[in-house]
Amino acid sequence: MIEDIHDIRPPVMTGMDPGLVRGLLWGAGAMVLCALIALIIRYWLKKRKKKRQVAHALPLFTPYETAVRDLEQCMAGFGHDAKIFYFELSRILKAYVSGTFQISCSEMTSQEMARAVKNLKYLDIGLKTELIQFQDQCDPIRYMPLDAQGTLDAGRMQQDLALAGSLVARIEQMIADATAKEDAEGA
């Protein structure tokens, strides 16, 4: 009768082995960690490369020097094409004001620029008015029909170029005077 008694069978595994699941989870975690480290290194290298590119792209000239250089090249570069000449003249003045006063007027309309110029600290009212009037004077020429361009002569373009140069020089002088005055008062 003892021969009829059998031992208990060992448990039968169903599903996945817990050790295998634990190993897979650790492996997946290690892969995610490696991917995260790779992304961080890639981001860091890109950022470092951008910094290096930005360092090389910094302007070597002050806004005043850039404006003077561009004004000198303006008449020779555009000849008698009044629209392009006045667009370029306006761009040069807007870039100068933007760089000097840290306001972004490159994409502003003349009216928006006039509002921004009225709030400038270092400029007197007369110079602000002249700058605004110059922009307003350039607008009709910049936006006139192509067939009406023939009425502008090189003499007028030369006068406007000289006026733009004068405005830039006077603004620069006024800023230098105001800065010197502030330095003298602060000392």
What tens digit of pLDDT does each residue of 65-112 get? 989 888 888 867 666 677 888 888 889 999 998 888 888 888 888 888
Question: Higher model confidence: residue 154 or residue 29?
Answer: 29
Cα–Cα dist 128/120, whole Å: 8
pLDDT for residue 115 is more than 80: yes
Q: How far is residue 84 from each of residues 80, 130, 177, 186, measured CA to CA in Å?
A: 9, 22, 34, 45
The encoded tokens of residue 125 equal 């009212």
> Is the entire prediction scored with pTM above 0.85?
no
pLDDT at 36: 96
pLDDT at 62: 87
pLDDT band, residue 157 (cuts 50/70/90): confident
What's the chain's average pLDDT? 83
